[in-house]
Structure 1
Amino acid sequence: MDIFAFPPLTLLLDGAYRALIQLVDLLEPLAGTTAAALAVILVTLLVRTLLIPVGVSQAKTERTRARLAPKLRDLQKHHGKDRERLQRETMSLYRDEHASPLAGCLPLLVQAAVIGVLYTLFLRPQIVGHANALLSHDLFGAPLGSSLVHAVGSGLDPATAIAWAVVLVVLLVVAEVTRRAFRPQAPLEGRLARRGMLGLMGALHYLTAVFAVFMPLAAALYLVVTVAWTLAQRTLLRRRYPLPA
């Protein structure tokens, strides 16, 4: 099923396409053939700038969770066999602290929506009945509308290989730095305390690089900018709102 066949989403896709094309046209005198790639980067920076207040709220909530960790462990110890009671007591604890266990979901949802639109814009030969001019753009010779998987299958040229190598190296380096700097803090009890589970949680940082190889290069550029921004933002906010010892 094509979700963009629904009228509201069709209008959204068409509006996003027209806005991005206008931005590309505006940047072409400055960036030339890389105008579309620069436009994607600017859109990413705009989205992340708008999400800064949410990031601050998320950092505060993360600090609150760390402070509440002993109380949460006590709740698990006393009500672990009664899932409904445990859920009620947990929500009551967060409510008393004016925090939410769901904090941080909004940035993920917004970014998922943006990358979904970018994926579609650089994948379809036609957008709402007219030719997709974005597919004619590239990044130093690497087509923005081609994924690494597709490029390998159709013959990988040097320009595309270099562009994707840079993208993947950046994603992997940022993932490794993030994994080391923000190790998940497991409770003293429960399944999450197992070493294997902690290792799995750490490995999740590398999934972005795995997903990127199946996306158009334009969407992969969005991922590169957003993961770098996320690392920088989390580092600064962790210093501003340090976790309790």
Structure 2
Amino acid sequence: MDLYAFPPIAALLDGAHALLMGLADLLAPFTGAASAAAAIVLVTLLVRTALIPVGVSQAKAEQGRARLAPRLAELQRKHAKHPERLQREMMALYRDEGTSPFAGCLPMLAQAPVVGVIYALFILPTIAGHENALLQETLAGVPLGSSLAGSVFDGTLTAGGFAEFATIILSIALVGEVTRRVFRAQAPAVPAASSAPARRPAGGARDAASLSPLSTAGAQRMLGLLQFVTAVIAVFVPLAAGLYLLVTVAWTLAQRMLLRRVYPLPQPNPA
């Protein structure tokens, strides 16, 4: 069964196709042959603008989790041998403070359908029974529907195309590295409760501790790694989707830096 032929999805793709082509026609007098690429950038900016309230909520949630970190650490020490009790106490603390360990995931989830639609628009030869005109659009001579991996596989990669793909992919990786460095440096440390060495919890208690939101060091390493997953994805998706991802990660970095100033993380107590 062709998922893209399912009537609701076909109608959605047809509307998105008409929207991008209409924006490209409006931008053509100013951007020339790159009008479709400019339309993708414009759509990306509109999506990110609509998600600003979600970004604010994410920054507030991050601030709340940092504020609760010492209390969560104390719970972990207190209930280290009772993982079920530990999880209940932690979730009760989050609930009482009006936050959640999973708060802030909405921006990623909200953008997934947009990336999926752009991906589909630049791989399908036909949409809702008519020819996909977007496949004829290019950016600096490189088809927006082509990918680096696909071009290498079918032998159509040119020097100019490689330079264009490499610029976008390396730019995504660079933004990811800047994001990792900036927010690793700003992450607050969780103060220790005492100078006495902590005893290593056994069995299930150790497992519960490692899976809890208190594993800040592991979480920071995971987030640092995830910054580069987008660059890897850009190798395989169409150039149009890679362009969307580049604008998205650059916007996200700028927005997070701005919101971190508005909602700063609490500084650790020197004592």
TM-score, normalising length: structure 2: 0.83
Using the TM superposition, give the Cα deviation of residue 159 of structure 1 relative to its aligned residue in structure 2, in angstroms.
2.4
Question: 1:202 aligns to what?
Answer: 224
Question: 2:203 aligns to what?
Answer: none
Residue 21 (structure 1) aligned with residue 17 (structure 2): no
Residue 237 (structure 1) aligned with residue 238 (structure 2): no
Deviations 1:142-200 (A, max 9, x none): 11000110112223113211211210221111111111011266867954759777545
**For the residues of structure 1 that align with 2:70 and 2:255, how far apart are their CA atoms?**
27
- Higher-Rg member (1/2): 2
Report the CA distance shift for 1:237/1:194 in structure 2 as closer, same or farther (over 3 A). closer
Question: 2:65 aligns to what?
Answer: 65
Q: Identity rate of aligned residues, in percent? A: 58
Gap runs ≥5 in structure 2: 193-197, 199-208
TM-score, normalising length: structure 1: 0.91
What letter matches 1:202 in structure 2? G
**For the residues of structure 2 that align with 1:93 and 1:168, how far apart are their CA atoms?**
41
Report the CA distance shift for 1:185/1:200 in structure 2 as closer, same or farther (over 3 A). farther
Report the CA distance shift for 1:203/1:73 in structure 2 as closer, same or farther (over 3 A). same
Using the TM superposition, give the Cα deviation of residue 100 of structure 1 relative to its aligned residue in structure 2, in angstroms.
2.5
Greater mean alpha carbon deviation, residues 132-141 or residues 201-210: 201-210
Match of 1:213, SS state, is: helix
Question: 1:125 aligns to what?
Answer: 125
Gap runs ≥5 in structure 1: none
**For the residues of structure 1 that align with 2:3 and 2:88, how far apart are their CA atoms?**
36
Residue 146 (structure 1) aligned with residue 168 (structure 2): no
What letter matches 2:19 in structure 1? A
Conserved? CA contact 1:59–1:241, under 8 Å: yes
**For the residues of structure 2 that align with 1:72 and 1:85, how far apart are their CA atoms?**
13
Question: 1:221 aligns to what?
Answer: 243
Match of 1:182, SS state, is: helix
What letter matches 1:182 in structure 2? F
What letter matches 2:40 in structure 1? V
Name the Cα RMSD after superposition: 2.3
Using the TM superposition, give the Cα deviation of residue 23 of structure 1 relative to its aligned residue in structure 2, in angstroms.
1.1
Question: 1:157 aligns to what?
Answer: 158
Question: 1:109 aligns to what?
Answer: 109
**For the residues of structure 2 that align with 1:17 and 1:141, how far apart are their CA atoms?**
21
**For the residues of structure 2 that align with 1:155 and 1:134, how far apart are their CA atoms?**
19
Greater mean alpha carbon deviation, residues 13-22 or residues 39-48: 13-22
What letter matches 1:225 in structure 2? V
Report the CA distance shift for 1:23/1:81 in structure 2 as closer, same or farther (over 3 A). farther
Using the TM superposition, give the Cα deviation of residue 2 of structure 1 relative to its aligned residue in structure 2, in angstroms.
4.2
Report the CA distance shift for 1:198/1:108 in structure 2 as closer, same or farther (over 3 A). closer
Greater mean alpha carbon deviation, residues 113-122 or residues 199-208: 199-208
What letter matches 1:92 in structure 2? A
Report the CA distance shift for 1:20/1:185 in structure 2 as closer, same or farther (over 3 A). same
Using the TM superposition, give the Cα deviation of residue 202 of structure 1 relative to its aligned residue in structure 2, in angstroms.
2.0
Q: How many residues align?
A: 245
